[in-house]
Amino acid sequence: MNLRRWLTPGIGIKRWLLVTFVGLLLLAVAGAHVIRQATRDLQPGGMTEVLIDVVTLQFLPYALRGLLVGLLGASLVVLGAIRVIRAFMDPFRPAAGANQPLVEVIYQKRFLARGPRVVAIGGGTGLSTLLRGLKEHTSNLTAVVTVADDGGSSGVLREELGIPPVGDIRNCIVALADAEPLMAGLLQYRFPVGGPPGTGTAEHPGLGGHAVGNLLIAAMAAIEDGDFEEGVRRMNRVLAVRGQVLPVSPIPLTLHAALEDGTTISGQSRIARSSGIQRVWLSPDGVPCSDDAVEAIEEADLVVLGPGSLYTSLLPALLLPQIRAAVESTSALRVYVCNVATQTGETSDYDLAAHVEALVAHTSPAIADVVLVNSGVGARAPDTYRAEPVRLTRWPPGVDPAPRLAIDQVVDPDNAHHHDPARLATALLGLLEREHRRPGFARTA
């Protein structure tokens, strides 16, 4: 199995094996000339001649002799090449691949490096689910993460340190990590409130309630003299994630919403629990966005909007004018991934058309080329959360030009409220492949 993997197209081994073989063949020819010249004047029947005949297998038929020597030579060349590569590469192999054959590590890196350039925009559980599936197909990934969260550990650090919320950024870094189970256990660990000495109490929280990953990102930003974007870049490099995770802005944003009853509320956590949302917007005005995020969108092959909470995860990123303009003008395929289930509060009773109408109303009809909706409604629904599948009951009549509709079974069969990472990634990359073959796909940025 390992030998077959070494010879897989694209691994970059066969060409150098061939060069090595040709070099050894020339050396063998040269050696044969030396032996031939040295044995010309040997006495026939002498011990030296007999010894040379035995070493060169002269007692075997000519065809069998060539076959045995050829097989032995090829085996030694392959074995030697693999051992040399292992000797050079083992010190650089990541700890995550310690129990994985070296050829698998090399194949994975080369294969993923040739994958499409994908930008995913949003936040929350949906974005990390998407990244977990896409990282098996490409390492050219960029996650552009919203920074409007104001609850939990992220909200406390935002209030105390003045940094953007880090919870969604942490979740995306975990999703893209090579050693995901191990990294998740570390970065997602939360210090208990009122636990052992030094972990804090209800009166003096200290570390209580904070996730290790949140504290690491905050510390990295402090090390970079308060440069939050550079701190996140450093975390990407330190943890060797596949791709990169970027905050949509280096400034913490506050989300506001106007409700149908005329009231206005502020704060992502409050808005997420509210129904009847008519409009959302951000403050402060004129905040800078991530230049790296804009560049990644401009150079992408595929831009994915969502999945995730419509008003509190996806729209806060698209409400920044520079990000919205970059998405609207990119030549990449743009896909809006609609949630598989409604969310109690912000999208209660929403069907697919209501999701698309809200997205377009806050951006423009040119924000997406394709809307991907789940076709499977028979997944198991958890008992702990009230929600309904997002159904295709109508198509938004007021959206012109309307995006194309793609229907696929992308739900997690064991959880009707979440996408399945592998199915979602396969559906998106299949869309990209089909759209590239479609006449007239390419747009002018």
Neighbours of 17 (CB within 10 A): 16
Query: Cα separation of 54 and 52, whole Å?
Result: 5
Query: Cα separation of 410 and 418, whole Å?
Result: 9
Global pTM reads: 0.79
Residue 163 contacts residue 277 (beta carbons within 8 Å): no
Domain locations along the chain: 2-103, 115-146+248-437
Q: For residue 252, give the DSSP letter.
A: -
- Give the model confidence (pLDDT) of 372-421 as tens digits: 999 877 778 877 767 889 988 888 777 777 899 999 999 999 888 899 99
Question: Is the confidence at residue 38, as pLDDT, over 90?
Answer: no
Neighbours of 112 (CB within 10 A): 17
Query: Cα separation of 440 and 355, whole Å?
Result: 27
Name the token pair of 5. Answer: 């993997």
115-146+248-437 has which CATH code? 3.40.50.10680
Question: In the structure, what pLDDT confidence band is assigned to residue 28 with cuts at 50, 70 and 90?
Answer: confident
91-100, 191-200, 282-291, 364-373: the lowest-pLDDT one:
91-100
